[in-house]
Amino acid sequence: MPIPSCHREFQHPIASEITPRAVYEERRELLRLWAAGAAGATLAAWAGREALAEATRPGKLAALPGGASAVAGAMSLEKPTSYQDASTYNNFYEFGTDKADPARNAHTLKTTPWTVEVEGLVKKPGKHGIEDLLRLSAQEERIYRMRCVEGWSMVIPWVGYSLAELIRRVEPLGSAKYVEFVTLADKARMPGLGSRVLDWPYVEGLRLDEAMHPLTLLAFGMYGELLPNQNGAPVRLVVPWKYGFKSAKSIVKIRFTEKEPATAWNKAAPQEYGFYSNVNPMVDHPRWSQATERRIGEDGLFAKKRKSLMFNGYEAQVGQLYAGMDLKKLF
Ligand code: MTE
């Protein structure tokens, strides 16, 4: 059996890379007109040419209030990736392994009603309806650099609040050392579950102090709107100093444990995907270098890559969490 991998770089270039600039700009204008309800006839002529991008655009989502974050490091000054790119170039294997699959297939995900169950080593276990979770704390906008293990990156304005807000309320016991995130596995609605590429459900984990770090975000939205299904609706994790796969999508369970959780990618290929998965340009993936990255949407296919930064540029905020650890062994 081939080693499972989420390395599919260059196989499926995104719209902004394969579309000539003028056509791309014109299409953006069409999208704008479409949103304003004025482009009906013209759009018909485009059907098929840009079928994926047009058909999968989730349309207008309810606005999510979000003030600027006061958390140090939560607002990147870099230009955000376009919404179009961020919502059509995704990893969400429950909906297929092609980058375009989640945008094409995730409309089947049913996000209401939705509950997240908190269990394990906490004083206050229980089920939380998504509406209650949304209201639990003030929403903030956070512009985070995201770096995927595959060697590409994006800059995304997320909306949510620090996971620590929820963790404090459920009161972890002294014996709780880790937090496990279990995501939805619904065979009827997720066509990717038919494949054995990963052991479902998709599970991720953090050490309790990583989960409590103010940068760790429980996200409900992006670009000021509710999350599109393909980006992990209705609630996902965002851990900006780690490779993207740590950011579990469509979470249904948060479990506090004493032992390190067995995570989906670590189970699939332990020599390639460690528990920590901190962005580290000095530790190569066994099959490719992690020293550089390609910023989605910003550069052409042949543009120079940029250097990856230790902890994805968040070293000042999170470096102390790993003081004294051998990050070559604990990758
Ligand atoms: N969560 C679930 N449930 N299933 C997945 O396949 N893929 C991960 C992560 N969370 C994944 C997931 C990977 S590999 C990445 S890079 C990010 O989601 C991608 O998030 P994005 O599509 O919003 O950029």
pLDDT in tens, 24-38: 344 343 333 333 333
* DSSP of 233-295: TT-EEE-TTBBGGGS--SEEEEEEESSPPPPHHHHH-TTTS-SS-B--TTS-BTTB--SEEEE
What percentage of the chain reaches a pLDDT higher than 70?
Answer: 81
216 lines ligand 1 (CB under 6 A): no
Residue 140 lies in a domain: yes
Asked if the structure places residue 41 within a domain, the reply is yes
Q: How many domains does the chain have?
A: 1
Residue 210 has pLDDT above 70, yes or no: yes
pLDDT at 45: 30
Better-scored residue on pLDDT, 16 or 114: 114
What are the structure tokens assigned to 40, written together?
Answer: 């009906």
**For 235-263, how does the pLDDT look when each residue is reduced to its tens digit (9 = 90+)?**
999 999 999 999 999 999 999 999 999 99
Who has greater pLDDT, 149 or 52? 149
The residue range of the domain holding 55 is 36-270
Categorise residue 156: left if φ over 0, alpha if ψ from -120 to 50, beta otherwise: beta
Using an 8 Å Cβ cutoff, are 249 and 232 in contact?
Answer: yes
**pLDDT score of 253:** 98
Is the C-beta atom of 91 inside 6 A of ligand 1?
yes
Does residue 20 have a pLDDT over 80?
no
Say if ligand 1 is within 6 A of residue 245 CB.
Answer: yes
Confirm whether 315 is domain-assigned. Answer: no
The verdict on residue 159 lying in a domain is yes
Q: Write down the pLDDT at residue 61.
A: 77
Indicate the top mutation candidate among 84, 95, 249 to test ligand 1's pocket, ranked by most ligand atoms within 8 A of CB. 249
CA-CA distance, 60 to 225, in Å (whole number)?
Answer: 8
Per residue in 198-213, is it b (16+ CB within 10 Å) or e — as a string? bebbbbbbbbbebbbb
Q: Residues 6 or more apart from 236 whose CB is under 8 A from it? A: 218, 219, 227, 247, 248, 249, 250, 251
Does some domain include residue 8?
A: no
- The whole-number pLDDT of residue 58 equals 58
CA distance 288 to 277: 15
Confidence class of residue 94 from pLDDT cuts 50, 70 and 90?
Answer: very high
Residue 41 has pLDDT above 90, yes or no: no
| Residue range 269-300, pLDDT digits in tens | 999 999 999 999 999 999 999 999 999 987 66
Is position 135 within any domain? yes
| Average of per-residue pLDDT across 47-55 | 39
User: 153: Cβ below 6 Å to ligand 1?
Assistant: no
Is 191's pLDDT higher than 90? yes
In a domain, 3, yes or no: no
Q: What is the mean pLDDT of the chain?
A: 86
Q: Is residue 54, in this structure, part of any structural domain at all?
A: yes
Is the pLDDT at 73 greater than 50? The verdict is yes
Task: Over range 160-180, report the average pLDDT.
Answer: 98
Question: Could you tell me if the CB of 87 is within 6 A of ligand 1?
Answer: no
In the predicted structure, residue 68 carries a pLDDT above the cut 80 = yes
Residue 194, SS3?
helix
Q: Tell me what pLDDT residue 303 has.
A: 72
Residue 213: which CATH number?
A: 3.90.420.10
